[in-house]
Chain A
Amino acid sequence: MQPGIKLENFSKSYHAGEVEVHAVRNISLEIQPGEFVAIMGASGSGKSTMMNTIGCLDRPTSGRYFLDGVDVGGLTRDELADLRNQKIGFVFQGFNLLARTSAFENVELPMLYSRPGVRGREQRERAEKALELVGLGERADHQPSQLSGGQQQRVAIARALVNQPKLLLADEPTGNLDTHTSIEIMGIFQDLNRRGMTVIMVTHELDIARYAMRTVVMRDGRIVTDQPVTGRLDAAEELRKLKQEQQAIQLAP
C-alpha cells in the first residue's frame, strides 16, 4: 500500500542573520493512512518545522515530501493552499484563532476558501456539527477571549475538522491544559483515528504520547527513535479512572 506521508531525506534550514540554522536534517519517514503518531523531542529539535512541511505550509530545503504519492515540492502556492484546505486539518501550537471573531465564524473559516464553494446552509450545519463534536455546541457565539484555553483548543480542533480532512496535524494540542482536558482531547483524537483519520501530534508529555500508536522522537533535527507504543492508553478508560480518583479527593462531584 502506498504510504499517506513519505519524507525522503528531508532537510530544512533557515538563515537567521549570518548563521544557517539546520532545523531538520536529512529525515526519512513514512506514515501509513490510519496511523496515530506522536512526535516527541526537546524544544527546538525541529518538531514544528517537520509538521509545517507535512502540513504543506512549507517546502523542504532539500529532499522530497510525498503526500498521497504527490511530490509536494513541485506544487504551486495555489495548489498547496488547496491541499491544506481539502486534505489537511492543522491545529497550531498556540491555537491561532482569529481574535474578536466568534467560535462559529472561526470554524467556518476554511469553508470560505473551499473550491467548489460550500453553500451557506451546509456551511452553517457543518460548523455546528464540528463544534458539537468537540463539545462546544453551546459556545458557538463566544469570542476566543471569552473562552478558556481548553475551549480555544477545541475550537481550533473543530476548525481543523470542518472540511473533513484525511490528515489531522496537531502541534502540542495539550500544552498548558489540565490532565482532564488533555485526556478529553485525546479522546476526540482517538475517535477520529478510529474512523480512519490519520493523526499526527507533537507532544512533550510522555503520558500523552501513550494515546498514540507510534512515537517518533527527535533530537537536533534528527529522528532518534521510532517505535510502536506499548501499553497504549484508551482515553475513555482513563477518563473514567480519573473521575474515580477525583471523587476520592472531592475534586469532582
Chain B
Amino acid sequence: MATDSQFALWEVFIQSKPGANYIHAGSVHSSDKKMALQNARDTYTRRGEGTSIWVVPSDAIVASNPDDNDMLFDPSNDKVYRHPTFYVMPGGAKAI
C-alpha cells in the first residue's frame, strides 16, 4: 500500500472580534494555504467564534523549550521597577 498523505499540519489563530488578539484555536491539515483557511473556517468557526483567521504552517513556528524556562523567564522577576506599583507617588497627586 502506498503511504497515504494526510497533508501538512497548520496552526489556526482566531480573532474573536476586531481589535482583539489572535488566539490559538487548534490545528488543521491541508495541502495548501487556501485549503488551510477553508478547513480552519469549517473546523473552528461554526458558531461565530471569530471574524478573522490566521493559518500558519506548523513547522514555521519556533517554540521555546520548557528546559530553558529559568534562563528565559526568570530575569523579569527581579526587575520590579518595571511595574508601576514600584514607585512611591507624593500624596495628593491625582490621575497618575
- Do these two chains really belong together in a complex? no
Residue numbers of A with Cβ under 8 A of B are none
